[in-house]
Amino acid sequence: MEKRVVFRSAWLPYALLAPQIAVTLVFFFWPAAQAGWYSFQLQDAFGLRTEFVGLSNFAALFRDANYLYSFKVTALFSALVAVMADRVVRGALAYKTLLIWPYAVAPAVAGVLWAFLFAPSVGIVTYALRQAGYDWNWVLRGEQAMLLVVIASAWKQVSYNFLFFLAGLQSIPRSLIEAAAIDGAGPARRFWTVVFPLLSPTTFFLLVVNVVYAFFDTFGVIDATTQGGPAGSTQILVYKVYYDGVKAADLGGSSAQSVVLMLIVIALTVVQFRFVERKVQY
């Protein structure tokens, strides 16, 4: 799309663009280029010497069992969050205000709230679970730590999904539903044969968004609760980039992971954009 009417000036558009371009260059292209450069280098433990090692950082990365494991954890985690967030909100129509505020809660804060509810010794939910005869201790058990992180992240993401489903539901023409009702379809039948298929673009869009959310925004939840533990069971990719780069001071390895992450994000963005272009309906 282009404007028919435009203004002419030799310098003004450049001046208007300058701030954004400057910030983008300094804080975006420069670091991104450095990430690309570092990912081919190996730094010694004291940062005194760097040598060019070509692709071996990438090769080491894919040999590293932990890295592959964190891929698996991320995939599993995304799927869980997406499906849970999906299931919880479908069918709700009103009560908007009461349901949307968790969107405003920082992921780290959401993590702390749930960590407190599930705290091994003082948590109120832990107490209830113990009364029911179930031994709960996410500090020691990997699968429970995972469950805690998933619950906290899903809780926060429910409001977002809710809003989009609501918008999707409201855009369905009333006449379609009325026509189905006149033909004698009950509420459940109407939902599955009319409403649900028409919601599929929204569902698909949310699926992509939730995957992106699980990849990146859950960093806060994880760092505030499990910190990747116990034994790497909740170590997602972004957390590993942070841990290797900051805590373990392995700049080359961390940068190589950044590059892999960048490729994943680009792939996800392409999927999302193709969807937006086409507005698929199944």
Partner 1 sequence: MVENRPWLTVLSHAVLLAGVALIAFPLYITFVASTLTHQEILQVPMPLVPGGHLWENYSQVLTAGSHAGAAAPVGRMMLNSLVMALAIALGKIAISIIASFAIVYFRFPLRNFFFWMIFVTLMLPVEVRIIPTFKVVSDLGMLNSYVGLTLPLIASATATFLFRQFFLTVPDELAEAARIDGAGPMRFFRDVVLPLSKTSMAALFVIQFIYGWNQYLWPLLITTQESMYTAVIGIKRMITGGDALTEWNLVMATAMLALLPPAAVVVLMQRWFVKGLVETEK
Work out whether 234 is an interface residue with partner 1 (CB under 8 A): no
Minimum CB distance to partner 1, residue 48 (Å):
17
Q: Minimum distance between the CB of residue 79 and partner 1, rounded to whole angstroms?
A: 20
The yes or no reply on residue 145 touching partner 1 (CB under 8 A) is no
Is 97 an interacting residue with respect to partner 1 (CB under 8 A)? Answer: yes
**What is the rounded CA–CA span in Å between residue 212 and residue 226?**
20
Among 73, 150, 255, 256, binds partner 1 (CB under 8 A): 255
Least Å from the CB of residue 73 to partner 1: 16
Q: Of the two residues 123 and 146, which places its CB atom closer to partner 1 in the complex? A: 123
Spatial CB neighbours of 103, under 8 Å, sequence gap ≥ 6: 156, 159, 160, 163
Q: Is 198 in the site for partner 1 (CB under 8 A)?
A: no
**CA–CA separation, 80 vs 163, rounded Å?**
20
Residue 132 CB, shortest distance to partner 1, in Å, is 13
Looking up tokens 């619950």, which residue turns up? 151
In the complex, least distance from residue 228 CB atom to partner 1, rounded to whole angstroms:
14
Applying CB under 8 A, among 59, 106, 172, 231 the residue interacting with partner 1 is 106
- Only one of the segments 46-54, 64-72, 120-128, 141-149 lies at the binding site for partner 1 (rule: CB under 8 A); that segment is 120-128
Query: Are 36 and 259 a contacting pair, CB within 8 Å?
Result: yes
Q: How far apart are CA 102 and CA 40, in angstroms?
A: 41
Residue 169 binds to partner 1 (criterion: CB under 8 A): no
67 binds partner 1 (CB under 8 A): no
248 binds partner 1 (CB under 8 A): no
Q: Give me the helices (H) in 124-218, please.
A: 124-131, 142-170, 174-182, 187-190, 196-198, 200-216
**Using the rule CB under 8 A, which residue among 147, 177, 198, 271 binds partner 1?**
177
Does 132 bind partner 1 (CB under 8 A)? Our answer is no
Residues forming a β-bridge with 41: 52
Q: At 227, give phi and psi (nearest 5°).
A: 55, 45
CB of 101 to partner 1, least distance (A): 5
Q: How crowded is residue 224: how many other Cβ atoms within 10 Å of its Cβ?
A: 20
Are 93 and 234 contacting, i.e. CB atoms less than 8 angstroms apart? no
